[in-house]
Amino acid sequence: MNTLNHTHEAAAKSWVASAQGHADFPIQNLPYAVFCRKSGHEAWRGGVAIGDEVLDLAALQAKGLLSGLAAQALHEASQSTLNAFMAMGHEAWHALRIALFDLLSSSASEATQNAVRNCLVPQTEVRYNLPTQIGNYTDFYTSIYHAENVGRIIRPDDPLTPNFQWLPIAYHGRASSVVISGTPFRRPMGQAMPPGTKAPVYGACARLDFELEMGFFVGPSNALGEPVALKDAPSHIFGMCLLNDWSARDHQFWEMNPLGPFLGKNFCTSISPWIVTMEALAPFRQPFERPADHPQPLAYLDEASNRAAGSLDIQLSVAIESVAHRTASKPASRISATSFKHQYWTTAQMLTQHTVGGCNLQSGDLIGTGTISGPTASEAGAIVELSQGGRVQVPLHETGEQRTFLLDGDAVIFQGWCEKTGFARIGFGSCSGTVLPAIS
């Protein structure tokens, strides 16, 4: 696990004025993205968020301010994708974090500040691309509260499958339909079996849903046939982002007998542009605790450091912005809030489970954590839970509207952040997407 160092100190300040007390991107965060300016025809390149600015890593590299391993890491992080940088591993990630922190610190020399200032681009002037070339995308199913809530809708008498408490369940998603936050998507077409009928119908999804998730990116790869032990799994995880696994519930529930999700999931997955590194998240780790009366993890999924600090307290919220919100210039309506700490399995356990059969993960692969729901009704991470399968209306208080599932024109907005006494608040920014009408 990442240890704490001077980059985590709450008192640390940056000479970048907008970084002071920034809700998401103070100097203690320094997340990565791939960006270019909105104007012109610039090449994509790596960037780091500091306050309201993006530190252009390609421009910084041209300054020649760094040396050694940090300079090598900067070279890879300044490319059009972050795959090669992620492959370098923790030592290189740490070296670049320390170097960037020192360049942006209020203690940096005036000459350094002037040189780096020329590498800053206002976030309002940039657009983002996917941070890696995603070779593969896997989505887990690791919230026991989500599993029970959805299970009660599908199987009221037996909501939790027998395997859930024994292994992190997952399915292989579609990497080609992963999109960056802000990208609109079409309501999908497909088959569904309406209640009380004997034959399916073909049409536009009538039960469109979001899933509040986080994603994490694979760092160094593992060779085919060589599993990653749980104690080594954290060294294979670069960082985390927000993730929305949009779901066509009517199509999904019909097609999932006997195999897993297909068309109900493969039409779109949205991710936030900024990747918060695991080192930045170190202050917000918590013990991984399994209730004593629950099955305990098998030996290969159990290890001292994972029990001591395998969980992460990441606060999350979901809001809907409808056409009516935009017409009336009203803020989006928050409908749910929870924490990632409630997940039944840790990111390290997910990665180990993914490789235990010999699967070779590749640098830059994306892994979803599954829907994140908490123990109370207001902490549900999907509208199918909040509406109890469409039986209960979910209020949008700012406009007086209600929802059981998403309508065309609805935008769903996720936000995520970490805060803890004695440490600076850091955040993930937001992840959003807007539903467009189906093409029939």
pLDDT digits (tens, 9 = 90+) for 61-75: 999 999 999 999 999
Residue 391 has which token pair?
């039986």
Q: How confident is the model at residue 12 (pLDDT cuts 50, 70, 90)?
A: very high
Pairing of β 53-56 and β 247-248: unpaired
36 has pLDDT over 90: yes
At 155 the pLDDT is 84
Amino acid at 90: H
pLDDT of residue 133: 98
Q: What is the pLDDT of residue 440?
A: 81
How far, in Å, CA of 372 to CA of 339, rounded? 7
| Euclidean distance between CA atoms 187 and 414, whole angstroms | 19
Helix (H) or strand (E) holding 430: strand 426-436
**Whose CA is closest to 334, among 349, 321, 350?**
321
Q: Among the options 8, 90, 94, 146, which is catalytic?
A: 146
Helix ranges restricted to H, 50-186: 57-63, 68-77, 83-87, 90-104, 110-117, 144-154
Could you confirm whether 146 is annotated as catalytic? yes
Instruction: Calculate the average pLDDT of the chain.
Output: 97
User: In this structure, which topology does domain 6-129 adopt according to CATH?
Assistant: SH3 type barrels. (2.30.30)
Instruction: Identify the band that residue 336 occupies on the pLDDT scale cut at 50, 70 and 90.
Output: very high
| Averaged pLDDT, 297-324 | 98
User: Please, which residues bridge with residue 242 across strands?
Assistant: 214
CA dist 321 and 332 (Å) reads 4
Rounded to an integer, the average pLDDT of 413-418 is 98
pLDDT at 257: 86
- Asked whether the predicted pLDDT for residue 48 surpasses 80, the reply is yes
What is the rounded average pLDDT of the residues 182-200? 96
Lowest mean per-residue pLDDT among 6-20, 141-155, 375-389: 141-155
Residue 144 banded pLDDT, cuts 50, 70, 90: very high
The span from the CA of 170 to the CA of 353, in Å, is 9
Q: What is the mean pLDDT of residues 10-26?
A: 97
Q: Which fold has domain 137-436?
A: Fumarylacetoacetate hydrolase; domain 2 (3.90.850)
Name the pLDDT band for 158 (thresholds 50, 70, 90).
confident
- The percentage of the chain sitting over the pLDDT mark of 70, rounded to a whole number, equals 100
Question: How many Cβ atoms are within 10 Å of 357's Cβ, its own excluded?
Answer: 8
Distance CA 320, CA 52 (A): 24
Q: How many of the other CB atoms lie within 10 Å of CB of 80?
A: 14
pLDDT band at 1 (very low <50, low <70, confident <90, very high): low
- Domain spans, the chain: 6-129, 137-436
31 pLDDT more than 70: yes
Interatomic CA distance for residues 319 and 395, integer angstroms: 11
* Cβ(85)–Cβ(76) below 8 Å: yes
